[in-house]
Structure 1
């Protein structure tokens, strides 16, 4: 649950910073945060990294 709350906080901070500083590139910050979280979760699996990535993306 804390992960969801932290993503909402990051997204809200990015929107506020975008409005305040007028830099729309800041709206990409939440996407990079989600990508980083995905990489960390894949790295926590006790299998080799690329094998895990292949397994995750081969699920149907």
Structure 2
């Protein structure tokens, strides 16, 4: 259930940033959804009980 609410929050952030981009005619507002997804990813990685750098190494070793 929490994942669905995060999905809707990211959709809302994207919609608001697109509206701002079209009204203000500045493309910089389109970076807001990218940074919000990046922030969400960092928070989710930080919530893993293992040390942060070990978790990051593990994630990138899966590739």
Tell me which interval the TM-score lies in, with the shorter structure as reference length.
Answer: over 0.9
TM-score, L = length of structure 1? 0.96
Unaligned ranges ≥5, structure 2: none
Query: How many residue pairs are counted as aligned between the two chains?
Result: 60
Unaligned ranges ≥5, structure 1: none
Which 4+ stretches in 1 moved above 6 angstroms?
none
CA RMSD of aligned residues (A): 0.6
TM-score, L = length of structure 2? 0.92
